[in-house]
Amino acid sequence: MVDAADEIDADVIVMGTRPHSGIGHALMGSTATKVMQHSKRPVLIVPLEK
């Protein structure tokens, strides 16, 4: 996802996330966390309903 955003010169990456169990993923999932850690672009996380 980060590479695709770079290829198209995206202004922002928007991702949806659902609640996950576990302390490390209490607010967002592992994919959203990895994108935020590796992207040089802003990442907007949108909580999704169950």
> Which band of pLDDT confidence, cut at 50, 70 and 90, is reported for residue 2?
very high
What pLDDT is attached to residue 39?
94
Find the length of the chain: 50
What pLDDT is attached to residue 33?
86
pTM for the structure as a whole: 0.73
Asked whether 28 and 16 are in contact (CB, 8 A), the reply is no
Euclidean distance between the first and final Cα of the chain, in Å? 23
Residues contacting residue 42 through CB under 8 Å, at least 6 positions apart: 11, 12, 13
Q: 3-class SS at 43?
A: strand
pLDDT tens per residue across span 3-41: 999 999 999 999 988 766 665 555 556 888 899 999 999
